Amino acid sequence: MTDATPDFDAVVVGAGFAGMHALKSLRDTLGLKVRVYEAGDSVGGTWYWNRYPGARCDSDAYIYCFTWDKPLLQEWEWSERYPEQPEILRYLEHVAERHDLKRDMQFNTRVTGAEFDETNTLWTVHTDKGDTVTARFLIAAVGSLSTTNLPRFKGLETFKGRWYHTSRFPRGGVDFTGKRVAVVGTGATAVQAIPEIAQQAKQLTVFQRTANYCVPARNGKVDPEVTAARKADYAGIIDRLRGSFFGFEHSFIPKSVLEVSDEEREREFDRMWDTGGFAFWLANYQDMFFDQKANDLCADYLKRKIRKTVNDPAVAEKLIPKGYAYGTKRQPLDTNYFETFNKDTVLLVDAATDGSIEEITEQGIRAGGKDYAFDIIVFATGFDAMTGPLKALNLKGRGGRTLDQQWADGPHSYLGISVAGFPNLFTITGPQSPSVLSNMPVSIEQHVEWITNCIDAIRKSGKTSIEATPEAQEQWVAHVNEVVNGTLMPGANSWYMSANIPGKPRAFLPYLCPEGVGGYRRKCDEVAAHGYEGFVLA
Ligand code: NAP
């Protein structure tokens, strides 16, 4: 190790919620020299890129924001329960302005690679704009769902119409009026977009590979008295979120659904259904994620709702999820999703019954031997989740080893925040942390606070590096897998299980902490309190 002085104390990759908070914290709390690189031309991350019709948050807005700016929690007025993408982006722009974040951000710049320099204990970071800079710490704030998955459909290049992926929608939107439109996919994104597109399009055809259990979002204006009460209780709310299971004000019903009477169960299900949002998913009976029989009762309720809502029984049958347990794929929240299939102008093409997509043709899509003609195709086909954005950074750790090599059979991290062999790299909401199984801002803030304290401790101790030990990492990986194997989650072909990308090794990507995000926070704090147990500080 030498005393080589880096260009920056820290380089942060990404300017979404995570990168913005990391910059604020490292620069304004620790006084570090920080540079943020961002591929977009402004802040926002997810909310910068995902401009598809109907894009809005699925967490209530009062908890989908930064909690470290206490005056802003009081000042900011959200227009509805789940604001749309432009409003969230406006909020993030406002935060950037208010805290003068952009002066340390370089936009329109993608990090193309970084190597760890073992001699000088520095990261050398390269960008597509020709920058090469050095930094002591490298903070990946690249998001969990930011690497677009565009399946390699044969013939896409021959299509004569226009096509878009939802995560790269053009600024200003797309006018679907009078158009024949296809939407490929029925995940959380498509469930938001389909009802909106159907209102404009002359004809909308939805290509479904796997049907989804959807629950109403129940968006709308929030009663001003409720908002005032929340503002008066923000300290309590923050406390509850931090100690909660999923970063929401939700807790499981501490009973087995199998023990209660039919009347009680139905009453509780109705209550959660009427509440809307994630209540049905994250505040249901405690055995729902673990016991197939318990899960079947929840699933059955949602299936009955589909049959009641969709007029054509054949279409309803196609929309009924099959082959996986409720809640083991991400719960989409909907506004008139199932109702949309009652429109004469909307057609459902289901892979199981009508045949799957064979190719894209000049005119449209061929599926199940049949040709469908379109002016516009919208791919709502998701992301190479969690590991994808990190691998895309082309990092080289000790001995020039890449994440691709290190993660050949799935992610290996310690606490989801660091990777053995990659010293001084921190992954905000990285694989094997609660991340996508929580209300993201809660997990982002927890990681940023932990990383800030960690870097502070390293500097105060006169050390220059921190690195997870392979032993601690492998214990963590085993723990993450053991916990999830006790649930129904591995049974689904979900992106949580890496199953959406052909060839991606099947592995559970986030971490389902048995004690929730509160328990995970305690674990991370204990590691720090014990002198960064499981890490080597040098
Ligand atoms: P997704 O959940 O991965 O859904 C992608 C859809 O495309 C699925 O229906 C999938 O079918 C289908 N698909 C993928 N490859 C295909 C292929 N080769 N042929 C046919 N169909 C194919 O992606 P997403 O809807 O973009 O959502 C991803 C995540 O983003 C969500 O789970 C959520 O965490 C987040 N999100 C959040 C919000 C919010 O908070 N407001 C909104 C939207 C999304 P299979 O199911 O069979 O794989």
Tokens of 354: 């009508």
**pLDDT value of position 104:** 99
pLDDT-derived band at 64, boundaries 50, 70, 90: very high
- Answer whether 381 contacts ligand 1 (Cβ < 6 A): yes
- Answer whether 188 contacts ligand 1 (Cβ < 6 A): yes
Rounded-to-integer distance, Cα 400 and Cα 302, Å? 50
Rounded-to-integer distance, Cα 107 and Cα 224, Å? 38
In the reported structure, the alpha carbon of residue 450 is separated from the centroid of ligand 1 by a whole-number distance in angstroms of 31
In the reported structure, the alpha carbon of residue 381 is separated from the centroid of ligand 1 by a whole-number distance in angstroms of 5
Instruction: Pick the atom of ligand 1 nearest to 188's CA.
Output: 25
Q: Is the pLDDT of residue 155 over 70?
A: yes
**pLDDT value of position 3:** 56
**pLDDT value of position 4:** 79
In the reported structure, the alpha carbon of residue 417 is separated from the centroid of ligand 1 by a whole-number distance in angstroms of 25
Rounded-to-integer distance, Cα 501 and Cα 385, Å? 9
Average pLDDT over residues 390-418: 97
In the reported structure, the alpha carbon of residue 260 is separated from the centroid of ligand 1 by a whole-number distance in angstroms of 34
pLDDT more than 70, % of the chain: 99
Domains and CATH numbers, the chain: 8-43+101-147+384-537 (3.50.50.60)
Q: Which residues contact 319 (CB under 8 A, 6 or more apart)?
A: 208, 211, 306, 310, 338, 341, 348
- Answer whether 58 contacts ligand 1 (Cβ < 6 A): yes
- Answer whether 209 contacts ligand 1 (Cβ < 6 A): yes
pLDDT-derived band at 336, boundaries 50, 70, 90: very high
Q: Which residues contact 138 (CB under 8 A, 6 or more apart)?
A: 10, 11, 13, 114, 123, 125, 395, 424, 425, 426
Provide the pairing of β-strand 122-127 with 132-140.
Answer: antiparallel
In the reported structure, the alpha carbon of residue 354 is separated from the centroid of ligand 1 by a whole-number distance in angstroms of 20
Average pLDDT over residues 391-417: 97
Q: Is the pLDDT of residue 39 over 90?
A: yes
Q: Is the pLDDT of residue 1 over 50?
A: no
In the reported structure, the alpha carbon of residue 494 is separated from the centroid of ligand 1 by a whole-number distance in angstroms of 9
- Answer whether 185 contacts ligand 1 (Cβ < 6 A): yes
In the reported structure, the alpha carbon of residue 333 is separated from the centroid of ligand 1 by a whole-number distance in angstroms of 13
Average pLDDT over residues 198-215: 98
pLDDT tens across 468-526, in order?
999 999 999 999 999 999 999 999 999 999 999 999 999 999 999 999 999 999 999 99
Q: φ and ψ at 359, to 5 degrees? A: -165, 165
pLDDT-derived band at 147, boundaries 50, 70, 90: very high
Q: Is the pLDDT of residue 66 over 80?
A: yes
- Answer whether 145 contacts ligand 1 (Cβ < 6 A): yes
Q: Which residues contact 191 (CB under 8 A, 6 or more apart)?
A: 212, 214, 332, 333, 334, 337
- Answer whether 436 contacts ligand 1 (Cβ < 6 A): yes
- Answer whether 357 contacts ligand 1 (Cβ < 6 A): yes
Residue nearest to atom 37 of ligand 1 (CA): 188
Average pLDDT over residues 393-416: 97
Tokens of 15: 């300017």
- Answer whether 218 contacts ligand 1 (Cβ < 6 A): no
Residue nearest to atom 31 of ligand 1 (CA): 188
- Answer whether 189 contacts ligand 1 (Cβ < 6 A): yes
Average pLDDT over residues 162-182: 97
Measuring CA to CA, which residue among 380, 276, 284 is closest to residue 325? Answer: 284
Rounded-to-integer distance, Cα 128 and Cα 394, Å? 12
Instruction: Pick the atom of ligand 1 nearest to 82's CA.
Output: 41
Q: Is the pLDDT of residue 54 over 80?
A: yes
For ligand 1, pick from 209, 348, 360, 440 the residue to mutate: most ligand atoms within 8 Å of CB.
Answer: 209
Q: φ and ψ at 373, to 5 degrees? A: -100, 140
Average pLDDT, the chain: 98
pLDDT tens across 103-136, in order?
999 999 999 999 999 999 999 999 999 999 999 9
* 0.95 exceeded by pTM: yes
Rounded-to-integer distance, Cα 525 and Cα 46, Å? 28
Q: Is the pLDDT of residue 2 over 80?
A: no
Q: Which of 1-10, 260-269, 324-333, 444-453 is predicted least confidently?
A: 1-10
